[in-house]
Amino acid sequence: MGQTSEKHIRSFLDYLKFQKRYSEHTIISYETDLIAFFDYLYVQFGELQLKQIKSPVVRSWLAQLKEKGNNAKTINRKISSLKTFFKHCLRQGEIEVSPMGTVVSPKQNKRLPQFVEKKDTDTLFTYMEFPDNFSGHTEKLILQLFYHTGMRQAELMGLKESQIDFAKSSIKVLGKGSKERIIPVSAELVQLMRAYIQFKVNAIKSADREYLLVRETGQKLYPKWVYNCVKKYLSLVTTIDKKSPHILRHTFATHLTNNGADLNAVKELLGHSSLAATQIYTHNTIEKLKDVYKKAHPKA
């Protein structure tokens, strides 16, 4: 990759970080896609100026990605990264026409989000015995928070004690793009959080008092720790393929829609920017109705 390309990428990433206030994870994804694209251009065509990059050049890179076995979802994400990058360049006056205008995204097979069945979440939260030590209390609260609020993994790890309003039984969550949303919680969860904070103070004198959840060392959680916690306990109650924190987010949304929750309300609780992202959960509801129909109707 040439120096000119590197300069444009850095300018774009600064825009995402300081103006759009995207998360570090999202910025890294953009950076990875753009570096891969411009490395390809440099090897195949030498150092091109932005104005020299046309649609056929972009398509040649996408064709190579497909030949290497990348699926439609991955390719579409890279197309999205390029579209956002060249749109920024267009606004900055660095190009007159975006090369992405005629680039068509490949069709994806729509898959319904997996979720944990209600009977299995009942088993998890009613009958599962958690170790009576600090790690056990932390693991239990992690699972309760994911299921009761539908928050993302990064949101849970960054959750501060100051974001909990015990009087109003709600949590202020800082989501993507630093957007805030308020999630109401049950009296049961409020009590669990109160008890956890007190247990943390008593058990670990040097515990971080800024963040709600910490490890037995008193330090903030990290992604692998949270993932392993969720996978461990979900493996004991369900046989679904994926057992990640995001599955509990799907479970939260699916259980709400299955019980008649308004889709706009679910959208706000999840922190989605558009209703289109939330509508996928209605498909699970429809599939459930189909199943009921097939089992109950004599002509089904």
Catalytic residue among 88, 152, 250, 267: 152
Query: What is the rounded average pLDDT of the residues 258-282?
Result: 89
**Do 140 and 289 belong to one domain?**
yes
pLDDT at 280: 83
**Do 59 and 165 belong to one domain?**
no
pLDDT at 113: 82
pLDDT at 184: 96
Q: Could you give the strand order of the β-sheet that contains 170-174, starting from the edge strand earlier in sequence?
A: 164-165, 170-174, 180-184
Per-residue pLDDT band for 2 (boundaries 50, 70, 90) equals: confident
Alpha-helix runs per DSSP H in the chain: 3-14, 24-45, 55-67, 72-91, 118-122, 134-149, 153-157, 187-203, 223-237, 245-258, 263-270, 275-278, 280-296
- The residue from 56, 91, 126 where one domain ends is 91
In a domain, 111, yes or no: no
Lowest mean pLDDT among 79-93, 127-141, 174-188: 174-188
In a domain, 48, yes or no: yes
In a domain, 108, yes or no: no
**Do 36 and 138 belong to one domain?**
no
In a domain, 143, yes or no: yes
Task: Examine the residue annotation and report whether 211 is marked as an active-site residue of this protein.
Answer: no
pLDDT at 108: 75
**Do 48 and 122 belong to one domain?**
no
Task: Examine the residue annotation and report whether 233 is marked as an active-site residue of this protein.
Answer: no
In a domain, 175, yes or no: yes
- Comparing 229 with 291, which gets the higher pLDDT? 229
pLDDT at 181: 95
**Do 74 and 25 belong to one domain?**
yes
**Do 43 and 129 belong to one domain?**
no
Per-residue pLDDT band for 57 (boundaries 50, 70, 90) equals: very high
**Do 190 and 43 belong to one domain?**
no
pLDDT at 279: 86
pLDDT at 199: 94
Catalytic residue among 249, 250, 255, 267: 249
Task: Examine the residue annotation and report whether 25 is marked as an active-site residue of this protein.
Answer: no
Give the distance, in angstroms, between the CA of residue 113 and the centroid of all CA atoms in the same chain.
13
Structure tokens at 118: 């209600």
Rounded percentage of the chain residues whose pLDDT exceeds 90: 79
Task: Examine the residue annotation and report whether 297 is marked as an active-site residue of this protein.
Answer: no
**Do 146 and 247 belong to one domain?**
yes
In a domain, 113, yes or no: no
pLDDT at 276: 83
Lowest mean pLDDT among 203-207, 209-213, 231-235: 203-207
In a domain, 154, yes or no: yes
In a domain, 101, yes or no: no
**Do 124 and 84 belong to one domain?**
no
Domains of the chain: total? 2
Task: Examine the residue annotation and report whether 209 is marked as an active-site residue of this protein.
Answer: no
Q: How many residues does the chain have?
A: 300
pTM of the model: 0.67
Range of the domain at 239: 118-295
pLDDT at 293: 60
pLDDT at 207: 84
Structure tokens at 31: 């950076």
**Do 124 and 83 belong to one domain?**
no
- Identity at 210, one-letter amino acid code: E
Task: Examine the residue annotation and report whether 42 is marked as an active-site residue of this protein.
Answer: no
Inform me whether the pLDDT recorded for 286 exceeds 90.
no
Catalytic residue among 17, 160, 176, 220: 176
- Comparing 247 with 47, which gets the higher pLDDT? 247
CATH number of the domain encompassing residue 26: 1.10.150
CA distance 253 to 233: 20
- The residue from 39, 72, 91 where one domain ends is 91
